Structure 1
Amino acid sequence: MAAIRLTLCHDLPMADSTPERRNASGAATARGSSEVPAQPSALTPRLLGTEVLCVLALSLGAAAVSATISFVSALTAPESLGQQTASLVTPQAGDQRPWLDLSRQLYSVLFALAPVALVVHLLHRTRESAATIGFDVRRPGRDLGSGAVLAAVIGGGGLVVYLVSWQLGMSVTVAPSTLNGNWWQLPVLILQAVKNGVLEEVIVVGYLMRRLGQLGWSATSTVLASATLRAVYHLYQGAGMFLGNLAMGLVFCWFYRRYGRVMPLVVAHAAIDIAAFVGSVFLLGKVEWLPS
Structure 2
Amino acid sequence: MNRVRLRWELGIVLAVTLGQSALYSVLTLVRRLTISVPLGQQQTALNPSRDDAALWDALYQILSVFFDLALVALVVYLLWEPGSNALRRIGLDFTRFGGDAGRGILLILVIGVPGLGLYAVGRTLGATVAVQASPLDAAWWAVPLLVLSALRAGLLEEVIMLGYLFDRLRRLGWGWWPIIIASATLRAAYHAYQGFGPIIGNFVMGIVFGWCYKRWGRVMPLVIAHTLIDVIAFVGYPLAAALWPGIFGPVPAPSGTPTPTPSP
User: Taking structure 1 as the reference length, what is the TM-score of the superposition?
Assistant: 0.82
Other-structure match for 2:252: none
Letter in 1 for 2:28: S
1:103 and 2:35 equivalent? no
SS at match of 1:276: helix
Cα distance in structure 1, aligned partners of 2:82 and 2:218:
19
Letter in 1 for 2:212: F
Cα distance in structure 2, aligned partners of 1:93 and 1:245:
30
Larger relative contact order (C-alpha < 8 A, sep ≥ 6)?
A: 2
Other-structure match for 1:122: 78
8 Å CA contact 1:177, 1:277 repeated in 2:
yes
4+ residue segments displaced more than 4 Å: none
Other-structure match for 1:208: 165
Which of these residues, 258, 270, 276, is aligned with residue 227 of structure 2?
Answer: 270
**1:1-292 aligned within 5 A:** 43-94=1-52, 97-125=53-81, 128=84, 129-288=86-245, 290-292=247-249
> Could you say what the CA RMSD is over the residues aligned between the two structures, in angstroms?
1.3
% same residue: 44
- Map Cα deviations across residues 28-61 of structure 1 (whole Å, 9 max, x no partner): xxxxxxxxxxxxxxx2111111111111111100
SS at match of 1:285: helix
8 Å CA contact 2:237, 2:248 repeated in 1:
no
> Could you list the runs of 5+ residues in structure 1 that have no partner in the other structure?
1-42
Letter in 2 for 1:172: V
1:169 shift after superposition: 1.3
Cα distance in structure 2, aligned partners of 1:142 and 1:135:
13
Greater helix fraction, Structure 1 or Structure 2: 2
1:182 shift after superposition: 2.1
Cα distance in structure 2, aligned partners of 1:225 and 1:119:
18
SS at match of 2:242: coil
1:290 shift after superposition: 3.6
8 Å CA contact 1:71, 1:237 repeated in 2:
yes
* Count of aligned pairs: 248
> Could you list the runs of 5+ residues in structure 2 that have no partner in the other structure?
250-264
User: Taking structure 2 as the reference length, what is the TM-score of the superposition?
Assistant: 0.91
